[in-house]
Structure 1
Amino acid sequence: MFLPATPEEVHALGWEAVDVILVTGDAYIDAPSVGVAVIGRVLSDAGYRVGVIAQPDLSGDDIARLGEPALFWGVTGGCVDSMVSNYTATGKKRKSDDLTPGGVNNRRPDRAVIAYANLIRRHFKQTRPIVLGGIEASLRRISHYDCWSDSVRRSVLCDAKADFLVFGMGERTVVKLAHALKNNLPTADIRGLCYMSREKPDTCVELPAHEAVAQDKELFATMYAEFYKQSRTPRGKRLCQLQDTRYLVINPPPQPLSTEELDHVYGLAYQRSVHPTDKAAGEVRAIETTQFSIVTHRGCFGECSFCAITVHEGPIIMSRSEASILREARQMRDHPDFKGTIYNVGGATANMYGAGCGRKKTGGVCAGRQCLWPEICDNLVVDHHRQRRLLEKIGKLAGVRHVFVQSGIRHDLVLHDAGGGQRYLEALLTRHISGQMKIAPEHSEPHVLRLMGKPGADVWTRFVREFNTTKKRLSKRVFFTCYFIAAFPGCTLADMRRLGAIVKKTLAFTPEQVQIFTPAPSTPATAMYHTEKDQNGNPVFVEKDPAKKEAQKRVLTEAAKEVPPVRPTDRRPSGPKKTRPRKGPANRPGSTRGR
């Protein structure tokens, strides 16, 4: 049974009203990889009556269809930031939307959490608290650079005039908030919660005021460095920042869910389908990749500078138990739409399942270095046997014909694992990729890769050779696809030409997965894009001309003769002498799904 989305469904349950109404910018897909579904199920499991309003019409009274909640409104832009969903990296309006019925991008407003909060206030003047959540709210919880307006915007909590903001993976936070609101208890100390206060908290790290960072890029860089430092670890401190006349308070990040808690969350009664109301409105293409996929873990310790995962989910890997994952796979077999194929078993990065180090098991994150950059840490336990055995067990279940891994693979981890990397690669090529493996080299030039927090080109070219040798030995007709980024901070047209030469020499195909860098809010790369300085304060060339960004992309996607010649102004400017990079931030901009 779905959570109710219509008055008829509410009445059928015998409810006179609901406790919580969740408003989302996506179609209502009740699957464990969709944030609004997870939050709804978790609240329902805790005893609260929850309703869902998907993509409400801004021009009518659709937002009032379920009445007013007894406790709070939960508002999310959906699985992806609404501005990323609606616009390309060069500012063109996207025509399609896989998370909208019918596939036409005509139902998700720009800055959706603000639009929906305003919609609620318009229909319910003095209403229950409005609580923002999901990836859009999480990444915009602090003063942030917004490339679509080319300005530093306030916290979305201020712009939406909401009461609370839940950031990160919010299951535990939202249940505690619901309990506090129901019982009239204090909310000020709930981890993973933001709120506005007229007084500065007694204990907090005060960041430079919004008005100052909006005008001064140096202060913005200082603010962001402290924000990132405190956000990437559960041991982070409470932050506060003056925004207009009040203080934005950002409580410490939530503790990651334990294996037992994750097992419980992913074992709830998801329907693995689109709600009938949305299904009747047209095909929702996203169901193809979410319906029969299994999330094995959360987090990513890659910390690529352009990826939102560290700021949202965190760099600590928390894995589900094998028993829980196998139980979910067995349950899939009973679904009427199941045809024998599990399309993905993984997380943000598939082969991080079960990986980590003793420090992270206690919630610690090294302050002075990352797990994979500039080299893989000796304390990191990388063992591909666990995921390989898991995939093998799922594949042996009666009724399961295919088990695929469509999440990205960290190729450097495969090469690093001398004991199990080769056998893992063989298992993938033999049984667990549906024709293509995804890897993300991103670039070839050392200075660009350093800013990305990615390994050198020698690593991915070695992996390509290993892949080709292995598939030839196994006589498998399988391929891989490579993701590359154009117009990243530090990257010039000349750099893209050098990348193109290496691609032509190494790959036997023209890359199609080339994207222009999108400055998603609150990532380290976006801070570099805005300030035009790296994390050590050194000047960085940043291409901001849309036409020249497109030219960088065309180096890889079209014939070289169609690309304008390199002019002196396109070359990377000389800068200070290179220093060994500080081991701090790194993953991929598409990895923005979350609560």
Structure 2
Amino acid sequence: MRIRRLSDWLPTTNKEVKLRGWDALDVILFSGDAYVDHPSFGPAVIGRILESYGLRVAIVPQPSVHDNLQDFEKLGTPKLFFAVTGGCMDPMVSNYTASKRRRDKDAYTPNGDKGFRPDYATSVYSKILKEKFPDVPVLIGGIEASLRRVTHYDYWSDKLLPTILETSKADMLVYGMGEQPLREIVELLQKGVPFSSLKTIKQTAVLLEEGEKVPKNKNWDDVEISSHETCLKDKKAYAANFKIIEQESNKLQARRIFQKVGDKKLMINPPFPTMTEEEIDASFDLPYTRLPHPKYNKRGPIPAFEMIKFSINIHRGCFGGCSFCTISAHQGKFIASRSQESILKEVDQVAQMDDFKGYLSDIGGPSANMYKMKGKVQAICDKCVAPSCISPVICSNLDTSHKPLTELYQAVDAHPKVKKSFIGSGIRHDMLVPEFNKNADPKELDAYTEEVMTKHVSGRLKVAPEHTSDPVLKLMRKPSFKYFHLFKERFDRINIKKKLKLQLIPYFISSHPACEAEDMANLAAETKDMGFQLEQVQGFTPTPMTVATVIYYSGYHPYTLKEVKTPKTKKEKEDQHRFFFWYKKENKQWIKDTLSKVGRTDLLKKLLPEDTSWRKNKAGKAKNTFDDTVTYNKNTKPSRRKNKGFKKKRR
């Protein structure tokens, strides 16, 4: 048992600063999350990265904005800059559900207590710092800043907002994963270059004042998108912007983007290349305690930490490019994989923890089965502008071998203290279907699927077909639902062969752009035929920097500029949701009336065969909640025997 000292964590108070023998700080980091010193928590990663560059760093987690604001002054003035992040999740997603109801819990706060993170935390913290320390640079980053770096639609205020650099008054924004741009920023500052001169660092954005000269870089090409003011007047112009933004974000040789914002000009520099194995290993190998700061010992457990306490993140990035997902917008579409040696080193660290019982909760990433996957010929990837490597089909240049991942699982399980390692992250089931993944060896896919089902699943396997309608799936950048049927056949075959009695857990989204009420009726009928009884399904939440959100606000697809219908009213969303609950008495008359009206008696017969309970619900409204909690009570075994329900919060 290792005895931890307070100085093992980054300091959070003046007392802790003095424990390290420091008389001043180089960087003070403000975070919307409680401080958990773990590589899965972005604020801790940034703090440790800065520390590794020889800087004296302190962190102020969840500063109070409801009193005299003393938390913003207690550590004094840093020599280099203030760093600000809203936390591991966008604060608005942390604070509100898809129906804009304030959440009862905050997973990144001790005891799940709410009220410790303000709405739009990055802007709130940054503005306070600029008011109190006008001469000290403020650098913002994290997912909130990253996804709001350009004109964006804010679902919670139902407004189009300018770059967060304008609303936060910050001096610079780092988008995406911060290790590479931070290294260059620190190196230049340590050489004596003024912060105000740092204009051409990759993966950063700044606002140029009126009349300020645009810095030159002979290696970059430039592109200008429609101004913020034009976007406010013209939704089609706003939609057209996004195609450029998304493509440039996913290029290896991207252009610099300019956008006028009032009298100022936003400049977004191209991203860094994907992190190498050595670079990502170095980030994960930093001296994390892997524990929450001791200051929280009496406040209760931090739910987000408890969830990942015994998990291992093996890679970053996702080449799926799903229209509703922000992962590739923040982490990039190219996969940055850790070495097996680095992963096994972390497994050993987890195994030495006092309360480790031999079970790893997750060996995964944004999508669990993308580890070590990349282009076969790099020159082809260098020229690619596609936002997805697997939609509408899997790129012939993509190496989709699951062999390195299967070997990694086996190496992890060989650790003497590991009894079982689970895959808690979502698995791309379509990539395990040979009919879709034609690049891979079918025997390899079978070996991986069997390895996962027999050794790494605790009763349930999570997958995300998301919908059954091909037009909706095409817009989502997801494959046809027929591949889910094919995967389920393989799943059932292995289930029977190995006598596993596992459940298959599919996720679905309602009220997504292009989804009609009839599509939801089809979904309900088809999943019922497959033996699934859904209790709650995630409602689409528009978040910045996604195709689906652009469509939701503008009504236009950014790549075609054709109109796309989107359910937006509360009634439209609730009606789509009600089809999932075909088995509830209060919905049966409504379903009968609705499907009869549109002439879909075929679906009616599937959902309510030989049903005689057509009594109208007196209230006239469904009692189902519209939220983003996912609950299933389903029968997925080949024997079609009923299984107990479960409840799982989605990201």
Q: Same-fold call, TM > 0.5?
A: yes
Residue 381 of structure 1 corresponds to 399
Kindly state the Cα deviation for residue 561 of structure 1 after the two structures are TM-superposed: 5.2
Cα 1:221/1:267, change in 2 over 3 Å: same
Residue 569 of structure 2 corresponds to 545
Kindly state the Cα deviation for residue 210 of structure 1 after the two structures are TM-superposed: 0.5
User: Match for 2:170 among 141, 158, 162?
Assistant: 162
Residue 81 of structure 2 corresponds to 72
Where do 1:141-180 residues align within 5 Å?
A: 141-180=149-188
SS at match of 2:160: strand
Report if the CA contact (8 A) 2:250-2:385 is conserved: no
Residue 584 of structure 1 corresponds to none
In the TM superposition, what whole-angstrom CA distance separates every residue of 1:45-64 from its partner, at most 9, and x where no partner exists?
Answer: 11111111111111231222
Report if the CA contact (8 A) 2:511-2:567 is conserved: yes
In the TM superposition, what whole-angstrom CA distance separates every residue of 1:469-519 from its partner, at most 9, and x where no partner exists?
Answer: 11111011322211100000011221101000111011x332356111011
Report if the CA contact (8 A) 1:483-1:513 is conserved: no
Report if the CA contact (8 A) 1:68-1:127 is conserved: no
In the TM superposition, what whole-angstrom CA distance separates every residue of 1:102-130 from its partner, at most 9, and x where no partner exists?
Answer: 212211110010111122234x2324211
1:118 pairs with 2:127: yes
1:559 pairs with 2:593: no
Cα 1:562/1:453, change in 2 over 3 Å: farther
Report if the CA contact (8 A) 1:516-1:550 is conserved: no
Separation of aligned partners in 2, 1:448 and 1:319: 31
Counterpart residue identity of residue 16, structure 2:
E
SS at match of 2:543: coil
Residue 24 of structure 2 corresponds to 17
Where do 1:364-443 residues align within 5 Å?
A: 364=382, 366-368=384-386, 370-415=388-433, 416=437, 417=440, 418-443=442-467
Kindly state the Cα deviation for residue 80 of structure 1 after the two structures are TM-superposed: 0.7
In the TM superposition, what whole-angstrom CA distance separates every residue of 1:242-301 from its partner, at most 9, and x where no partner exists?
Answer: 111111110001222100111111111111111111333222111122222111111111
User: Match for 2:43 among 22, 36, 49?
Assistant: 36
1:53 pairs with 2:76: no
In the TM superposition, what whole-angstrom CA distance separates every residue of 1:10-33 from its partner, at most 9, and x where no partner exists?
Answer: 110001121111111111111111
Residue 350 of structure 1 corresponds to 368
Separation of aligned partners in 2, 1:345 and 1:360: 27
Structure 2 unaligned runs (5+)? 1-7, 599-629, 631-647
Cα 1:167/1:149, change in 2 over 3 Å: same
Kindly state the Cα deviation for residue 359 of structure 1 after the two structures are TM-superposed: 4.2
Greater RCO (CA < 8 Å, at least 6 residues apart): 1
Kindly state the Cα deviation for residue 187 of structure 1 after the two structures are TM-superposed: 1.2
Where do 1:89-108 residues align within 5 Å?
A: 89-108=98-117
Separation of aligned partners in 2, 1:430 and 1:395: 13
Q: Radius of gyration: which is bigger?
A: 2
In the TM superposition, what whole-angstrom CA distance separates every residue of 1:384-425 from its partner, at most 9, and x where no partner exists?
Answer: 111111111111111111111111100111113413111111
Separation of aligned partners in 2, 1:288 and 1:539: 44
1:457 pairs with 2:481: yes
Structure 1 unaligned runs (5+)? 572-588
Report if the CA contact (8 A) 2:333-2:388 is conserved: no
Separation of aligned partners in 2, 1:233 and 1:67: 41
SS at match of 2:205: strand
Residue 297 of structure 2 corresponds to 279
Separation of aligned partners in 2, 1:361 and 1:338: 45
Residue 504 of structure 2 corresponds to 480
In the TM superposition, what whole-angstrom CA distance separates every residue of 1:520-559 from its partner, at most 9, and x where no partner exists?
Answer: 0011111111121223122211111123213322322563
Counterpart residue identity of residue 114, structure 1:
S
TM-score (norm 1): 0.92
Report if the CA contact (8 A) 1:343-1:406 is conserved: yes
Kindly state the Cα deviation for residue 337 of structure 1 after the two structures are TM-superposed: 2.8
The aligned length equals 575
Separation of aligned partners in 1, 2:330 and 2:173: 13
User: Match for 2:551 among 520, 523, 528?
Assistant: 528
Report if the CA contact (8 A) 2:465-2:507 is conserved: yes
Cα 1:342/1:368, change in 2 over 3 Å: closer
1:222 pairs with 2:229: no
Separation of aligned partners in 2, 1:368 and 1:265: 28
Separation of aligned partners in 2, 1:423 and 1:280: 46
User: Match for 2:331 among 313, 329, 348?
Assistant: 313
1:264 pairs with 2:279: no
User: Match for 2:519 among 495, 505, 522?
Assistant: 495
Cα 1:360/1:346, change in 2 over 3 Å: farther
Report if the CA contact (8 A) 1:190-1:251 is conserved: yes
Kindly state the Cα deviation for residue 453 of structure 1 after the two structures are TM-superposed: 0.4
Residue 141 of structure 2 corresponds to 133
Separation of aligned partners in 1, 2:355 and 2:19: 26
Counterpart residue identity of residue 469, structure 1:
R
Separation of aligned partners in 1, 2:543 and 2:374: 27
